[in-house]
């Protein structure tokens, strides 16, 4: 069912994953998708979509993606090295529809790149919205919705996510 023709790298796949879209998807070294001893292992799949020809998703080295995640890019999503991601993670670089009612079905919805730094730990059930940069070494608490940039070396949590403390 995967149809993305521009995939580079060879992740270790322990969990079903769909690679979709007309853009490019790049995996670094030692990327692992899925965790056998984690909820949802037998009942879901991961989804990575670089939707348009100019869209890209770049996943760094030594990244671990837990079960039930979704990554969709109209522009670009970058995940740094040594990143740990919990269950049911969602990240996208677009709202996929305009907010103004008269424009909701128009093409080219607003989109802004997303960047997740190195050594980031993202808990379960986290959503990262368009235009967000998560700084190096930071932690995002479970059930958070990240709507704004996160600096390096902090713990954020909540909806919307806010800084809880520095590391």
* Domain layout of the chain by residue ranges: 6-166
Share of the chain above pLDDT 90, in %: 84
As a dihedral over the C-alpha atoms of residue 126, residue 128, residue 134, residue 139, rounded to 10 degrees, the angle is: -10
Q: What CATH number does the domain located at 6-166 have?
A: 2.160.10.10
* Mean per-residue pLDDT over the chain, rounded: 96
Start-to-end CA distance of the chain, whole Å, equals 42
Look up the pTM and report it.
0.95
Convert the pLDDT of each residue in 17-49 to its tens digit. 999 999 999 999 999 999 998 888 888 899 999
Share of the chain above pLDDT 70, in %: 100
Would you name the residues annotated as active-site residues?
A: 97
pLDDT of residue 24: 98
Q: 114: which residues sit within 8 A by CB, 6+ positions away?
A: 73, 76, 77, 78, 91, 92, 93, 128, 129, 130, 131, 132, 133
């Amino acid at each position: 069912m995967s149809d993305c023709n521009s995939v580079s790298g060879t992740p270790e796949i322990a969990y079903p994953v769909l690679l979709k879209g007309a853009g490019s998807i790049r995996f670094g070294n030692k990327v692992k998708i899925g965790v056998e001893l984690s909820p949802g292992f037998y009942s879901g799949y991961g989804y990575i979509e670089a939707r348009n020809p100019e869209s890209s998703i770049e996943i760094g080295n030594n990244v671990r993606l837990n079960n039930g995640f979704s990554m969709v890019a109209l522009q670009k999503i970058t995940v740094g090295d040594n990143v740990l991601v919990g269950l049911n993670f969602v990240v996208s670089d677009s709202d996929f529809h305009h907010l103004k009612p008269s424009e909701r079905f128009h093409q080219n919805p607003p989109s802004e790149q997303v960047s997740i730094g190195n050594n980031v730990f993202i808990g379960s059930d986290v959503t990262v919205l368009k235009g967000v940069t998560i700084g190096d070494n930071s932690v995002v608490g479970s059930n958070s919705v990240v709507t704004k940039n996160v600096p390096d070396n902090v713990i954020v949590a909540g909806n919307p996510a806010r800084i809880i403390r520095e590391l």
